[in-house]
Amino acid sequence: MKPPKERGKPIAPPCQITRIRFSPNGKELAASCVDGIVRRWSVSDAKPLPEWKGHNGWVTTLSYLSNGDLLTTDSWGKLVCWKDEKPRWSIAAHEGWLRAVAIAKDRIATCGRDGFVREWSTDGKKRFETKLGIDFYSLAYSPAGALVVGDLFGRMHVLDSSLKTTREFEQKEFHLLDRIQDVGGVRCLAFSLDGKTLYAAGCQPKTGGFVQAFPLLVALDFATGKALWSWKGANDAEGIVHDLRVFADGRLAAVTSGQPGQGKFLLFEPPTATPAFVSTKLPNCHSLDIHPDGKLIAVSGTNANSSGNGRVKGKAGEYPENQSPIQFWDAE
Amino acid sequence: MRHTHCTPADHRFSRRAFFGAAALGGLATPAFAEALRKERRQVLFVWLDGGISQLESWDPKPNTIFGGPFRAIPTSVPGIHVSELLPETARQMHRLAIVRSVSTQDNSHSAGVDRIQRGDPKNRGVVYPYLGSAMARWLGPGTSGLPPYIWVKPMNGGFIYKDAGFLGPKYGALALGDGKPPENLLRPADLSADDDAERNELRELADKRYAEKRKADTTEANSYAFAMAAQLQKRVELFDLSKLPEKDRDRYGSHDLGRHLLLARRLLEEGVTFVKVTSYGWDTHGDNFNGHASLVPKFDKPFAAMIQDLADRGMLDNVLVIAMSEFGRTPRINGHLGRDHWPEAWSVCMGGRGIKPGVVAGKTNEKGTDVATEPHDIGHLFHTWFRALGVDPEKQKYYNATQPLPIAHEEMHAVTEVLA
């Protein structure tokens, strides 16, 4: 594999970003932001497109439907479907933090801190729901349509088409009870193209509070739940895998964020557990996406010097906000 | 010369009440016990070590750039909102007060914990006592027969005399590691009571000889630790939470903080003057929001249960309740999705004895980056707590040998908005 190369300077959004995704036609890149705004850019020239407002708290994640409609979610539980610059529909999907969204052909799944997993039709009608009473972090549909939801305790629940649990996998490394804090969780889930391998990622926590943790990626045989291979970061300052994407050729891309200044953009060629490419240029990465043509990758990180006790001051003496620069990479 | 530690006035109530009641033959009556209970002045001090985020607890700023993902929820007091992570405490707001204008001096744990718990007075070349030791000094041991300053904490316990500063070791803390009594507290089964008494006599004699050639403070700590152990030997049943109704254990939770707060309730019921409960692990430099989503509910439930229980038992008239950390957390969210140390503008929750219920004092600006009203340092809070407990910082002084010392920072004053 040829290592990817940075393309130009990063886009500089004015705030921090939780998730980035390319549109299915590859013309736009959208970002969910902590100021409640959905920001978009034209991929060809990196120019900003009109912002979308109407969310509360953080816009927590986003995902495009195959028809180009964009689903966005927020930390107050709202799920919005945007079409032609306007909300096509908007629903109160969960009570509080909506953690993840996954899309199948004609179905949308969501999960939240409220312990519910819900499935919706693409016009926003509720199909099924199940309450497992656990804080969920991640969701993925298998190519065959099975839904997997990852929780705080390192468990992956396989749900059938009516959201009944059929199987459960557990990777205890993803969770630690440190004093009174439950730390870790399955933060990301993705399937291999043939649906035979389930990739689960997050961290192996060492402590709560400060959260020292080794980033962790585990490839599981979806049929048996057995671990096939895994990658763990070299030290406990490297933190958490925050996003995970699968290329059309089966490669994997992941980003990590650890102690301020620590973060990686990684490429894997499964089943090789050692990363084929690692970049530490952009610190504290929280999301990435692969362009539909497979030749472009976008990675969102964090500005330098993002931390500090007490009243840190910006260049003009102001109390600064942090930002999430987005770097494009050319890949082959 | 004034005595270093206490004056006859400090014992006035207990001596008069005791002998008066005894003379009337009323010592053993429920009425007398109730009268004594009503005269108690006690403190529950909940210390969330590392720094709870004010934005994820007492001073939420939803829908602002630094506000984080959580919502604010209404409380039992119209107009007052707290973080959605505190639903149970929100229902107790009519019994609590929040100071949202706390602005202190230290942004490091090592200096911050000490300065905050000692009240950060002006430097006079002496080490001031921690709040617990100060209250043990001013409120006395009460009638419990237990040490006046008990610290319930995870991990190790022991006798923590350094908390007492210049007051001297007998005002130190007895720390109950993991809420358990000190190890080897009970007399071994193969040692008879007579033999034990003989050994203690021998020890006391040795202590006396040792003390003759040394400073009193050095030996006093040792003797006091033995005296405390003897007191605790008689009350070991206090530590057996398994005998409490299961409902209570469910309400407080099975985790450390829940169990320790439940033990604190028992100690307060027994009349212990100052009970500190510490929870470690609140220093959320990374993954702050998931961290607080896990941590705060484990504070919220037992804390609210405690407030309800103290109210049900009529004890909020006696017990001053304080919940705080050494500082708050930065509004700015760092690259590890954490919040760093922030002494500039944070919050403290209190309630009970001497505190006006259902109020908020002070406020921060829209983004939570500055105190927008009069800032209040820890010295202001010490004034507030002393006043709430009927100790007047304008009139009372410590005496370090012959050196008079103010009991709280003399250039500060009480936060009157939260005083009843």
CB A262 within 8 A of CB A284: yes
- Number of structural domains chain A divides into: 1
Confidence of residue A276 (pLDDT cuts 50, 70, 90): very high
Q: Is residue A18 part of a domain?
A: no
Q: Is residue B30 part of a domain?
A: no
Q: Is residue B365 part of a domain?
A: yes
Contact across the interface for A209 and B298, Cβ inside 8 Å: no
CB B164 within 8 A of CB B133: yes
**Residue B386 pLDDT > 70, yes or no?**
yes
Tell me the percentage of chain A whose pLDDT exceeds 70: 100
Q: Is residue B261 part of a domain?
A: yes
Q: Is residue A43 part of a domain?
A: no
The CATH number linked to A179 is: 2.130.10.10
- Number of structural domains chain B divides into: 1
Mind listing the pLDDT tens digit for each residue in B289-303? Answer: 999 999 999 999 999
Compute the distance between CA of residue B53 and CA of residue B255 in angstroms, rounded to an integer: 21
Compute the distance between CA of residue B220 and CA of residue A295 in angstroms, rounded to an integer: 76
Range A249-267 average pLDDT: 97
| ipTM score for this prediction | 0.98
Q: Is residue A247 part of a domain?
A: yes
Contact across the interface for B334 and A306, Cβ inside 8 Å: yes
Contact across the interface for A96 and B154, Cβ inside 8 Å: no
Q: Is residue B20 part of a domain?
A: no
| C-alpha pair distances (Å), B331 with each of B74, B111, B241 | 22, 21, 39
Confidence of residue B82 (pLDDT cuts 50, 70, 90): very high
Q: If residue B256 lies in a helix (H) or strand (E), which one and from where to where?
A: helix B256-270
Q: Is residue B92 part of a domain?
A: yes
pLDDT at B275: 98
Nearest to A283 among B255, B256, B335 (CB): B335
Q: Is residue A33 part of a domain?
A: no
Range A36-58 average pLDDT: 97
Give SS3 for A327: strand
Q: Is residue B1 part of a domain?
A: no
Q: Is residue B230 part of a domain?
A: yes
Mind listing the pLDDT tens digit for each residue in A280-303? Answer: 999 999 999 999 999 999 999 999
Q: How many CB pairs under 8 A join A and B?
A: 153
Give SS3 for B194: helix
pLDDT at B18: 37
- Picking from B64, B279, B290 by the largest number of A CB atoms within 10 A of its own CB, the best residue to mutate is B290
Contact across the interface for A239 and B295, Cβ inside 8 Å: no
Q: Is residue A213 part of a domain?
A: yes
Q: By residue range, what is the domain housing residue A259?
A: 134-306+321-332
Q: What's the whole-number average pLDDT of chain B?
A: 90
Q: A170 has which bridge partners?
A: A155
Nearest to B69 among A57, A135, A320 (CB): A57
Which of these, A34, A67, A30, A70, lies nearest to A51 by C-alpha position?
A30
Q: What angle do CA B359, B365, B369 make, to 5 degrees?
A: 115
Query: Tokens 């490839």 belong to which residue?
Result: A219
| C-alpha pair distances (Å), B58 with each of A246, A320, B48, B61, B227 | 42, 23, 13, 10, 41
Query: Any idea which of A76-90, B102-116, B224-238, B319-333 has the lowest mean pLDDT?
Result: B224-238
Mind listing the pLDDT tens digit for each residue in B335-351? Answer: 999 999 999 999 999 99
Q: Is residue A283 part of a domain?
A: yes
**Interstrand relation of A136-141 and A296-300 (parallel, antiparallel or unpaired):** unpaired
Paired tokens of A285: 């990465």
Q: Is residue A168 part of a domain?
A: yes
Confidence of residue B215 (pLDDT cuts 50, 70, 90): low
Contacts of B22 (CB under 8 A, 6+ apart): none
Range A260-265 average pLDDT: 95
Q: Is residue B17 part of a domain?
A: no
- DSSP string for B31-70: HHHHHHHHH--EEEEEEETT---GGGTTS--TTSTTS-SP
The CATH number linked to B97 is: 3.40.720
Q: By residue range, what is the domain housing residue B335?
A: 39-418
The answer to whether B206 faces chain A, any CB pair under 8 Å, is: no
